[in-house]
């Protein structure tokens, strides 16, 4: 079985709930504290592709960093958005759960169940 990864913020209740769902299912995921170890722009682009979303859709638009650094987001390319997300990981939607070639945003946390083995 391919590995599960979770881009996790332990201070976020939704992130903790999604991790708990994995653990209750017996899944031992690799936990990536993305604020301490931000994903690269290339990793963000790959995750966005797995989600079938534009990178801008991975942004938490109410975050102060989004307001500060992404003011021109609508006129930026996907690559530029990925670069900004890598530089300002607080803006990345959380949690992100990856399994193989599939990914989900864990909002609501129960979304993670879509990746669990049947």
What structural domains does the chain harbor? 1-34+94-118 (3.40.30.10), 40-92 (no CATH)
Taking 50 as the pLDDT cut, the residues of the chain under it are none
Measure the CA–CA gap between 39 and 42, rounded to whole angstroms: 8
In tens, the pLDDT along 86-105 reads: 999 999 999 999 999 999 99
8-state DSSP, 108: S
Cα-flanking dihedrals φ and ψ of residue 106, to 5°?
-80, 50
What is the structure's pLDDT at 64? Answer: 95
- Three-class DSSP labels, 11-52: CCHHHHHHHHHHHHCCCCCEEEECCCCCCCHHHHHHHHHHHC
End-to-end Cα separation, the chain, in angstroms = 13
- Say what the pLDDT of residue 117 is: 87
Contact criterion met (CB below 8 Å) for 17 and 69: no
**Residue 118: what pLDDT?**
80
Question: Which residues are designated catalytic?
Answer: 12
- pTM, rounded to two decimals: 0.93
């Amino acid at each position: 079985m391919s590995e599960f990864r979770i881009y996790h913020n332990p201070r976020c209740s939704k992130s903790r709930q999604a991790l708990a769902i994995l653990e209750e299912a017996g899944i031992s995921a690799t936990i990536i504290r993305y604020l301490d170890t931000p994903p690269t722009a290339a990793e963000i682009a790959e995750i966005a592709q797995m989600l079938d979303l534009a990178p801008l859709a991975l942004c938490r638009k109410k975050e102060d960093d989004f307001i500060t650094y992404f003011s021109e987001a609508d006129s930026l390319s996907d690559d530029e958005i990925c670069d900004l997300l890598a530089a300002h990981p607080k803006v990345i939607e959380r949690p992100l759960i990856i399994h193989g070639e599939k990914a989900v945003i864990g909002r609501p946390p129960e979304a993670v169940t879509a990746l669990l083995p049947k």
